[in-house]
Amino acid sequence: MRTFDSGEKSLKRLAVHTITTKPWSIHEAIQKYSAKGIGGISVWRDTLEGENLSVIGREITDAGLEAVALVRGGFYTGTKEEREKSHEDNLRAIDEAASIGAPQVVLVCGSTPGISIPDCLKQIEDGIGRTVEHAEACGVKLSIEPLHPMYADIRSAVSTMKAANDLCDEINSPVVGVAADVYHIWWDPELEKEIKRCGDADRLFGYHICDWKLDMEDMLQDRGLMGEGVIDVASITRMVDQAGFNGYQEVEVFSKKWWAADQDLYLEAIIDAYLNKC
């Protein structure tokens, strides 16, 4: 993987999540990102259905891109049966990441109504722990992504960088770390301390950027581009860089509004927002 200097912001350091330009196939995304000089691509699994994964991996490198992450695994909570099913799927996600040459799988850890948050966290710890050996064997890292607490009902019992760091401490494996996404963590008064803690332990594996809109209409599919909302992305980027992070800056935006727009113009807006508004 390429590494970047602290404070560097360049198209080479920019990665885009395929979900951001959802209307495009994986082939279109690779071609369009590459044509703009973008350095990285984070691949959502829905774009891989029916595709030959090693061919996709070659297509990515031939285009001069790097696969930054496979998104996503996780959902470790629930009944024993549900957890077994998700365990199998998480092993597959690790295999898929290895096949396309992505060094990490991003984990949305899950939460189940009726199971307390502490019990969900225990299930998450067990679930990740069960896949560590396979991840190590495949050379793939596992990145716990804390989600905003508004998703603590069904998406993730891991709501803060502190909770993610605590989980990493418990699991204690060099392949288990954290993906920090500004959308989920910007509000946290302990953010700087916990980002530093994560960096000091060499566990900060990913950094996702977007914005939190004041006129958000949908808690899932109305994220903003950087500059469209209230997050001071630049200051979080500084915290992350100061914690020793030298990886890609990944734009990840779910937005019905932007998906309805011309995707070529949208990609230009993404680049402009990245270079000039954060």
For Zn ion, the binding residues (CB under 5 A) are: 181, 208, 252
In this complex, which beta carbon is closest to Zn ion, that of residue 83 or of residue 199?
Answer: 199
Name the nearest CA neighbour of 82 among 123, 49, 118: 123
Least distance to Zn ion, CB of residue 108, Å? 9
Q: What are the two backbone dihedrals, phi and then psi, of residue 108, each rounded to the nearest 5 degrees?
A: -100, 110
Helix axes 26-35, 53-62, angle to 10 degrees: 10
Least distance to Zn ion, CB of residue 183, Å? 7
In this complex, which beta carbon is closest to Zn ion, that of residue 83 or of residue 251?
Answer: 251
Task: Kindly compute the dihedral angle of the four CA atoms of residues 261, 262, 267, 269, in this order, to the nearest 10 degrees.
Answer: -60
267: left (phi over 0), alpha (psi -120 to 50) or beta: alpha
Asked if 174 and 132 touch (Cβ cutoff 8 Å), the reply is no
Asked if 69 and 44 touch (Cβ cutoff 8 Å), the reply is no
Least distance to Zn ion, CB of residue 69, Å? 9
In this complex, which beta carbon is closest to Zn ion, that of residue 64 or of residue 227?
Answer: 227
Least distance to Zn ion, CB of residue 42, Å? 9
In this complex, which beta carbon is closest to Zn ion, that of residue 203 or of residue 208?
Answer: 208
Burial class (CB in 10 A: 0-12, 13-18, 19+), 223: buried
In this complex, which beta carbon is closest to Zn ion, that of residue 197 or of residue 208?
Answer: 208
Least distance to Zn ion, CB of residue 82, Å? 23
